[in-house]
Amino acid sequence: MADLFTQEHDRASDEPQVTHLGHGIFHIKHLASTESCLRRIDEITQEIPMRHMMTPMGYPTKASMSNCGKYGWVSDLDGYRYSERDPISQQPWPALPREFLQIHQSACQLANIPSFLPDACLINRYEISQSMGRHKDKDEQDTSWPIVSISLGLSAVFEVYPDNPEISPMKILLEDGDVLILSSSSRLWAHGVKPIKADLLQPNLTTRYNLTLRRSH
C-alpha cells in the first residue's frame, strides 16, 4: 500500500492544510471544530440514539450509528437504503446542523470542487478496536456527487482501494478535525477503516466519530 501518512501536525496551528492525493481524493487537516461538532452530535443522539444496525446478512454493524438531515442511511434484513424516518421510532431525522454544513462548504471550497447541498449525514461512532469493512458507497440515487467525511476524536487509518489494479491502494491517517473528500474517479472506490487504536498520550480518549455528508437524492 502507498503510505500517505502525514507528519504529525502542529496542534497550535489553526490553518487548514489541503493535500490532493490524486484521483479526486482531498485530505484537509485542521478544518473541523471538535467541541462544536460534539455538541451537535449530543443534541442529535438525544433525539435518535446511536445504535448498531443489522446488516442484510443478519449481523450487527461494528460501529454504532445515527443520522441527521432529510434522509438517513439505514441497514436491516431488507437491505441498505436511505429513509426519511428512523425505522425504529418512525420519527424524521434531526435537521443537519449549520456547523456541519459550514465545514462541508469550506471543504469543497478548499478542494476547489463545486459545492453542493447534502441531504444526509451518517454519524458513525467507533470504540477502540472497532473497524469498518471494505465497501463502496453506492446507495445514492446519483453517485456523481462527492462524499465529504469529518473525523473527530481518536485517529483512524482509512484505506482506499482503486478499481484500477495499476493504481496502488492507499492508507490515509485521519486525525481529529480532519476532513476527507472522495470525488471524481475515486467516488465509487472501495474503502474501509482499520481497527481504531488507543492514544497513549490521551488515555481518556476512547471514541472516534465520523460524519459522512452525502447527496442521497
Query: Is residue 12 pLDDT above 60, yes or no?
Result: no
SS3 18: strand
Average pLDDT (3-21) is 64
Closest CA to 187 of 157, 217, 214: 214
pLDDT top residue among 174 and 13: 174
CATH dotted code for 2-214: 2.60.120.590
Query: Is residue 69 pLDDT above 60, yes or no?
Result: yes
State the chain's maximal CA–CA distance in angstroms: 48
Average pLDDT (119-123) is 99
Residue 6: predicted pLDDT: 38
Tell me which DSSP letter residue 68 carries. Answer: E
CB 198 within 8 A of CB 136: no
Residue 13: predicted pLDDT: 57
| Cα(133)–Cα(57) distance, integer angstroms | 14
The overall average pLDDT reported for the chain is 94
Average pLDDT (56-81) is 97
Where are the strands (E) in 23-106, listed by range? 25-29, 64-68, 72-76, 79-83
Per residue in 156-193, pLDDT tens? 999 999 999 899 999 999 999 999 999 999 999 999 99
Residue 190: predicted pLDDT: 98
Per residue in 22-34, pLDDT tens? 999 999 999 999 9
Enumerate the domain spans of the chain: 2-214
CB 4 within 8 A of CB 172: yes
